[in-house]
Amino acid sequence: MSAEAAAGILAERRRDGGAVTPLPGDGRPLDLPAAYRIQQQVHERLAGTRFGRRIGWKIGCTTRVMQTYLSIDAPCAAGLFAGTRHDDAARISARDYRRVGIECEIAVRLGHRLDGRDGTPSLGTVAAAIEVAMAAIEIVDDRYQDWRTLGAPTLVADDFFAAGCVLGRPVPRDALPDLASVRGVTIINGEDRGRGVGADVLGHPYAAVAWLADCLAAQDRRLEAGEIVLTGSLVETRWLDAGDTTRIEIDGLGAVSLAAEP
């Protein structure tokens, strides 16, 4: 099976809401380079659907808590799409997901391109490329028959649980706090469900963006001006029940909320 055929299967599952099952033996990516080649073709196939064009990236497994939770010891990248981007106080239907969850994130938007093909960007170079940062909720969906048996390459090819984002108020670069020291909290139905700090994300959220620039450079790609990056969850994924209300609060960046309606 070709990469194109594997991408077609994954894109179809995303569109119709079917469970992702192991790809046929010859279509199953065996390593991350193969996974990212399939992922890029998945993005191209989704662009003409309700998901829309890719507007940025999420970075998964940047914190020890998430690496432990998913039994994966390295970061991974996935797409964000125009059709699944929401603003603060968003409402979604839990029925539109197989198993919906949220993650507590620091998001950034780039003011100009960042090209890892010129070498790994320094934290200062990343900081200069950032236009704004935001508190964000990453929406995730366990759309897998059994993610534990699929293997990391197949998960990456399928955008690794990514199902959307809710973005809070943009804070300009010059007004940002030290993002390594900010604290984030996940609140569900008024209850504190977990806390983390910016330094949990590879030492600094900007280090996660530098990692992403390197990851894209290996694919002969780059981060573009205007793209949004979710830098990694400060708190372990929390799965929602229909009717749950959620809120993410991050020091210096404010809060963002989401309701999962029945």
Q: Per-residue pLDDT tens for 117-143?
A: 989 999 999 999 999 999 999 999 999
| Opening angle at CA 180, ends 179 and 183, nearest 5 | 80
Q: 178 is written with which tokens?
A: 């030290």
CA distances (Å), origin 30, targets 61, 77, 149, 251: 19, 17, 13, 40
Tally the domains of the chain: 1
Q: What is the pLDDT of residue 73?
A: 72
Which helix (H) or strand (E) is 54 found in, with range?
strand 54-60
Q: What is the pLDDT of residue 11?
A: 97
Half-sphere exposure (CA, 13 Å, Cβ side) for 85?
18
CA distances (Å), origin 126, targets 177, 209, 231: 15, 7, 12
| Amino acid occupying residue 118 | D
Tell me the pLDDT tens digit for each residue of 202-226.
999 999 999 999 999 999 999 999 9
Q: Is residue 52 within 8 Å of residue 41, measured between CB atoms?
A: no
CA 22 to mean position of chain CA atoms? 22
Q: What is the pLDDT of residue 165?
A: 98
Residues of the chain with pLDDT under 70: 1, 65-67, 69-71
Exposed e or buried b per residue across 151-183, where buried means at least 16 C-beta atoms within 10 angstroms of its C-beta: bbbbbbbbbbbbbbbbbbebbebeebeebbebe
| Opening angle at CA 230, ends 259 and 227, nearest 5 | 110
Which helix (H) or strand (E) is 150 found in, with range?
helix 147-150
- What is the Cα–Cα distance from 78 to 217, expressed in whole angstroms? 15
Domain containing residue 147: CATH number: 3.90.850.10
| Opening angle at CA 120, ends 117 and 121, nearest 5 | 105
Residue 185's beta-bridge partner residues? 195, 249
- The residue segments making up the domain with residue 57 are 3-261
pTM: 0.95
Q: Is residue 166 within 8 Å of residue 42, measured between CB atoms?
A: no
